[in-house]
Amino acid sequence: MKSRVLNTLLVLFFLCGLAISSGIAQTEEEIDVVPAYVPPAEQALAPVKLPPIKEKVLKNGLKVIVVEHHELPVVSLRLMCKAGSQYDPAGKAGLTRFMTDLLTKGTETLSATEIADKIDFIGGRLSAGSNWDATYVTCTALTKHLQTALELMQDVVLNPAFSDGEIERNRQQTLSSIENDKDRPSTIASEAFNRWLFGEHPYAFPIEGTEETVKSFTRDDVLKQYELIFNPNNSALFIVGDISPKKAFKIARESFQSWPEGSVPEAVFPIPEAPEGYKVRLVNKPDATQAQIRFGHLGIARGNEDYFPVVIMNYILGGGGFASRLVKVIRSEKGLTYSVRSSFSTRLQAGPFTTSTFTKNESTLEAIEAMIELIKEYQESGPTDEELKKAKSYLTGSYPLNFETPSSIAGQLQGVELYDLGSDYIEKYRDRVNAVTKEDVIRVARKYLHSDDMLFVVVSKADEVKEDLEKLGLVEVLEIE
């Protein structure tokens, strides 16, 4: 025991002598000082650069885009038609979405159950969908099962059955979903805002349709919409993954060369009128204790030259979650809501700019006025240097997450092709984000945020909020249908 204590003392004396001889003797005060934290130097972000993108156009006009990507033994196929729900006929809102829901529900030779069993057996995924600007069928499978996956995808695209039984089943499912939405004030508010803002433009209606339109769909309607949308000369096939370009082009020709050309639909849509001044619609929900609020105006198209400044401007304003000003002020500082955001929905044509939140009935006007004040102040002063830095850091740092799998790569390529963004878009994305200046943000905030000309939709108990809302302007009261 004595020996152990003696050894410890000798070590301590040695360390003290070493500190003094090295010129680093510490005073009593210095011993307790914690060194200041020095953040690590920012590391350069790895470049986002895909393997070479190969393209060919088949004789029927189908563009085939291939990316060889061998990190996983997987191949992702995505067929994209450059036409979506904006081509729903007048009085038939929701027809494109309804038609795409049916694509995987049976072909001329396979039932919906047989399709599902075949894709499940090989551990793959097969789906179809649509948005405002495009319709698509996707299929992902292990490389060794590519032939089976491709045959299923080809059958779904070229030989859909649209059986009466599946049409009625899909109709009931869609109507049930629409019925459920009638009890959601948030959905009511969003749909009422879009309906008012876009008038007779297709964007005015829900992408899944309305109760009235869905009930009216016939098999003939579905067939006509399929023939309108699905044309090889207005489509692109993306093949991404563990496959050589030579083989990819070969299987594309074998599967889709026989697909006959069609007529490309013409895009002729009414131009919505921009709001002037403040206009308010109050949707009366007699049992509401909270108010759902939507306000805004027309936004920008995806091809707008100011797209990147607008993205950053909106991220700082209300698109960046807890990093946004709307959340910091309206939620954290004022405690008026749990959730608030702003968004620019960019499409082939100008989509909406929407600010959305909810609050207690008694604080409805206070919340709206606080948001308007914040927007106007933002237009005047712009972002802080720190806000701009954080916005750029998030957008550039998170960008690689869009390219982690063959399926996600195909999805990104679809956007580039659909909106004609250019072959260097992915490679230069970060440069374009980083090129945005504080002056750019102020400029686009003043140009594209029309804080004195907006439509307001509030879903709440009219008796409790109408008088306050009249301080904004004339209030039109509507009843929930």
Q: Report domain extents, the chain.
A: 53-256, 278-479
- Chain-centre distance for alpha carbon 417: 17
SS (H, E, C) 348-393: CCCCEEEEEEEEEHHHHHHHHHHHHHHHHHHHHHCCCHHHHHHHHH
Range with the lowest mean pLDDT among 43-47, 393-397, 414-418, 432-436?
A: 43-47
Half-sphere exposure of 218 (CA within 13 A, CB side): 4
Residue 59 burial (10 A CB sphere; 0-12, 13-18, 19+): exposed
Residue 329 burial (10 A CB sphere; 0-12, 13-18, 19+): middle
Pairing of strands 340-344, 352-360: antiparallel
Instruction: Please give the CATH number for the structural domain made up of 278-479.
Output: 3.30.830.10
pLDDT band at residue 4 using 50, 70 and 90 as cut-offs: very low
**φ/ψ bin of 217: left (φ > 0), alpha (ψ from -120 to 50), beta (otherwise):** beta
Mean pLDDT for 164-185 is 95
Mean pLDDT for 174-199 is 95
Q: What is the mean pLDDT of the chain?
A: 91
Amino acid at 134: A
Fold of 53-256: Cytochrome Bc1 Complex; Chain A, domain 1 (3.30.830)
Q: Which residues contact residue 336 at a Cβ distance below 8 angstroms, ignoring those fewer than 6 apart?
A: 330, 357, 359, 363, 366, 367, 370
Q: Give me 443's structure tokens.
A: 């400029």
pLDDT band at residue 48 using 50, 70 and 90 as cut-offs: confident
pLDDT exceeds cutoff 70 at 94: yes
Closest CA to 431 of 344, 307, 304, 308: 308
Kindly list the distances between the CA atom of residue 278 and the CA atoms of 200, 327, 368, 373, 451, in Å, as whole numbers in the listed order.
21, 23, 12, 14, 9
pLDDT exceeds cutoff 60 at 35: no
Are 298 and 364 contacting, i.e. CB atoms less than 8 angstroms apart?
Answer: no
Are 181 and 59 contacting, i.e. CB atoms less than 8 angstroms apart?
Answer: no
Determine the pLDDT at residue 43.
55
pLDDT exceeds cutoff 60 at 409: yes
Determine the pLDDT at residue 91.
94
Mean pLDDT for 247-262 is 96
pLDDT exceeds cutoff 50 at 2: no
Are 318 and 292 contacting, i.e. CB atoms less than 8 angstroms apart?
Answer: no
pLDDT band at residue 105 using 50, 70 and 90 as cut-offs: very high
Mean pLDDT for 156-184 is 96
Q: Torsion angle, CA of 144/150/151/157, rounded to 10 degrees? A: 160
pLDDT band at residue 87 using 50, 70 and 90 as cut-offs: very high
Range with the lowest mean pLDDT among 268-277, 363-372, 392-401, 410-419?
A: 268-277
Domain 53-256 and domain 278-479, same fold? Reply is yes
Kindly list the distances between the CA atom of residue 338 and the CA atoms of 123, 209, 294, 365, in Å, as whole numbers in the listed order.
41, 30, 15, 16
Determine the pLDDT at residue 268.
78
pLDDT in tens, 225-245: 999 999 999 999 999 999 999
SS (H, E, C) the chain: CHHHHHHHHHHHHHHHHHHHHCCCCCCHHHHCCCCCCCCCCCCCCCCCCCCCEEEEECCCCCEEEEEECCCCCEEEEEEEECCCHHHCCCCCCCHHHHHHHHHCCEECCCEHHHHHHHHHHCCCEEEEEECCCCEEEEEEEEHHHHHHHHHHHHHHHHCECCCHHHHHHHHHHHHHHHHHHCCCHHHHHHHHHHHHHHCCCHHHCCCCCCHHHHHHCCHHHHHHHHHHHCCHHHEEEEEEECCCHHHHHHHHHHHHCCCCCCCCCCCCCCCCCCCCCEEEEEEECCCCCEEEEEEEEECCECCCCCHHHHHHHHHHHHHCHHHCHHHHHHHHHCCCCCCEEEEECCECCCCEEEEEEEEEHHHHHHHHHHHHHHHHHHHHHCCCHHHHHHHHHHHHHHHHHHHCCHHHHHHHHHHHHHCCCCCCHHHHHHHHHHCCCHHHHHHHHHHHCCCCCEEEEEEECHHHHHHHHCCCCCEEEEECC
